[in-house]
Amino acid sequence: MMTKKEAEKRIKKLSKEIDRHRYLYHVLDDPGISDEVYDSLMQELVELEKKYPELRSSTSPSQRIGGEVLDKFEKVRHRNRQWSFDDVFDFEGLKKWEEKTLRLWRKRQATSDKREKSLSHVPGNLSLEYCCELKIDGLKIVLTYEKGKLVRAATRGDGIVGENVTANIKTIRSIPLELNEEIDLTAVGEIWLGKKELERINKERRKKGEPEFANTRNAAAGSIRQLDTRIAASRNLDSFIYDIDYLERKTQNAKRKTFEKGLSIPESQIGELHLLKNLGFKVNRHYKLCNNVEEIEEYYKYWAGKRDKEGYEIDGIVIKINSIKIQEALGYTGKSPRWGIAYKFPAERTTTRIEDINVQIGRTGALTPVAHLKPVRVAGSLVSRATLHNEDEIKRLDIRIGDTVVIQKAGDVIPEVVKVVKNLRVGNEKKFRMPKKCPICGGEVKREKIGDLRKKRNSQISNLNSQLSSAHYCVNPKCFAIEIQKMIHFVSKKGFNIDGLGEKIVEQLVQEGLISNIADIFELEKGDLEPLERFAEKSADNLVKSIEESKKVSLQKLIFSLGIRYIGEETSFLIVNAIGKEIYKIKNLKDVIREFPKITEEKWEEIDGIGGKAAESLVKWFSSEENLNLLRKMDDLGVKITVEERKEKSSQLEGKTFVITGTLPNFTRDEIKDMIRKAGGKISSSVSRNTDYLIAGEDPGSKYDKAKDFGIEILNKNDFLKLLQ
């Protein structure tokens, strides 16, 4: 029988041995023992810790197994802001970045004086060394160690505040729970899932009838955000750590260059990678020191051709100036380091066949041709459809049913056909023509010029010039497809927000004859729903309750939900913002029914931001007795509107125009918009010289670049919140 003292000694030895083999296997990829032997050592440790729980430490290897179920993820503030790199997509872009960086470095050197000791040993010439690393397509993680022990792991979040995911990160065996030095450290890296592991997980999900993960990044992100740590543990996640965000040097002697155990304090990015490896982290070994952009281009081309050979997804390379002193001197812009850039690989392309071309009809009656493809995986997703935009685009590319085509998908952009491989035609391909009659209702189809339908996208997606195009519309206002889309729009989140009334349910209710217009939705009762497929007693109860709760809605959401052509979210707000002036005093639906039909096109156009087409569309909609009857029926069924009184007092945002881009964690885009409107500001969907501010979140895209070109002030989330104070 083992005594407690003996058990303590045994637990320490087991922990040390297990961690040594963990490091050999998961970091160095050099297993020293079989899985069976490793598992038996772990089992002995777990049993001893169960018997003597007071001897279990927070860094015990047993803490990686998982089993804790969390209530939620807590928000945590990062010690240092987490930046994201700007992107370039070609060699010309890389050269421009280097030229800009060199100009800034020259300026920094010119303005430095003898008091700036920090730059005294930095090279004075205008050539720079670069550390090039692979850009792993995973999830950024921030690891905090105190006295060498892992105390917190957090997601990037908005760069300032992330989520505490420590329990799940502990299940990743390549991440050390205890470092080789007793130091305070914040390290940054990437959590990723291997390609083979994704195949294994998706195979299991198929067997269970669960949806598959589209790509390794989605699977990794979904795994890290599981409240049940056992799920994260089962996914076999991995890591690469690449940056030191904070480092306590553990000495008062400024000249000292080492830690207690002799490890060197880094003065370069490559030195940081060496230190991270020596501390026990897994570091991607494929980094390289490059002396100029030509060497960087060679490294980029090598990995662009070899990216599929590795067991993890790579979407580009990251280039950092190697000297940490120069990094510190160059600093940061509002969103990214000046001393680094991400050089992204081209958007993935592949070939497939167009099996058919069908037409979709939207709520405005617009007919959009859609290519039905032989399913193919591109950019990590299985693609079976691609938009063809309009008839002019089909003619420009000479797309035919049966063609072999090149399709392209980048990020969340809808897949598109970019080229036809005409040499593979066999002669039986069929030309496509837009229908002269609506394929749903048989009504007349009219062609209208719509201006710049397809605009130039960023260089990674398309080099097409803007061009005058046309669209086709079904002119039958009673078209079944249009009615369906109108109802889907009506119940959407930005409209009445009726939870549980999705696209398929709307279609089912229309096909069963239970609803034929938007007002009918508010007549639905539990007894109507229960006999239908997909509806049990509880789901019927929930939908009826959701419909009842939606009956109180803001006037802005009501106007938006009606689906009036040219009247979107912002125009709806402009209309509501005009209330309180002249005849636009609206308090309930009866006021809308009485007053809106009186408003002429000229009066509508007096509202700042409402143009001729929108004014014409408003007059047409509110002149229709049929539409007014829908509003009367909604009023009879208890639908009520709320109108927030307009504050006349001035605000520092009064009249200022904002554009929002990127992801804003902790706030929805609608919440940001509401804050702007309540403070008197206006919102635009596109950047122009009339834009006052751009609010930029994570992954901001081309709007950010355009705002920089125009000299528009760019705000992060915190900058914006300060404006409101």
Report pLDDT digits (tens) over 600-611: 998 898 887 788
Among 1.10.1330.10, 1.10.10.10, 1.10.150.20, 3.40.50.1820, what is the CATH number of 554-642? Answer: 1.10.150.20
Single-letter amino acid, residue 720? F
Same fold: 480-550 with 554-642: yes
Per-residue pLDDT tens digits for 365-397: 888 899 999 988 776 567 888 888 888 889 989
Confidence of residue 478 (pLDDT cuts 50, 70, 90): confident
Which residues is 693 bridged to in the sheet?
Answer: 658, 713
Q: What does residue 485 show for φ and ψ, rounded to 5 degrees? A: -65, -35
Helices and strands counted in the chain (H then E): 24, 26
Quote the CATH superfamily of domain 480-550: 5' to 3' exonuclease, C-terminal subdomain (1.10.150.20)
Highest-scoring range by mean pLDDT, 254-268, 320-334, 412-426, 643-657: 320-334
Take residue 279 and report the two structure tokens written for it. Answer: 């501390």
CATH architecture type of domain 120-344: 2-Layer Sandwich (3.30)
Q: Does residue 629 or residue 49 have the better pLDDT?
A: 629
For residue 253, the model assigns a pLDDT of 40
Decide if pLDDT at 586 tops 70.
Answer: yes
C-alpha dist (Å) from residue 544 to 133, 149, 522, 526, 537: 55, 53, 9, 6, 11
Could you confirm whether 656 is annotated as catalytic? no
Confidence (pLDDT) at 649: 45
> Rounded mean pLDDT of 166-185?
91
Which residues share a beta bridge with 369? 359
Task: Please give the structure tokens belonging to residue 248.
Answer: 């306590």
Q: Map out the domains of the chain as residue ranges.
A: 4-64, 120-344, 348-474, 480-550, 554-642, 657-724
Predicted confidence at residue 211, as pLDDT, reads 77
Q: What is the pLDDT of residue 126?
A: 54
478/491 Cα distance (integer angstroms): 19
CATH top-level class for 4-64? mainly alpha
The fourth-level CATH superfamily of domain 348-474 is Nucleic acid-binding proteins (2.40.50.140)
Instruction: Give Cβ neighbours of residue 434 (< 8 Å, ≥ 6 apart).
Output: 359, 367, 369, 391, 445, 447, 472
Confidence at residue 675, expressed as pLDDT on a 0 to 100 scale: 84
- pLDDT, residue 32, reads 64
Please, which pLDDT band fits residue 8 given cuts at 50, 70 and 90?
A: confident
Residues 9, 13, 114, 135: which is the catalytic one?
135
Instruction: Note the pLDDT tens digit of each residue in 330-363.
Output: 888 767 899 999 998 876 778 899 999 988 888 7
Separation CA 233–CA 226 (nearest Å): 10
Provide mean pLDDT across the span 473-499.
87
d(CA 309, CA 312): 9
What is the CATH superfamily name and number for domain 657-724? Answer: BRCT domain (3.40.50.10190)
Per-residue pLDDT band for 674 (boundaries 50, 70, 90) equals confident
Residue 398 has pLDDT above 90, yes or no: yes
Mean pLDDT, residues 624-645 taken together: 90
pLDDT over threshold 70, residue 669: yes
Alpha helices in 637-700 (DSSP H): 669-678
pLDDT in tens, 31-45: 666 656 666 777 778
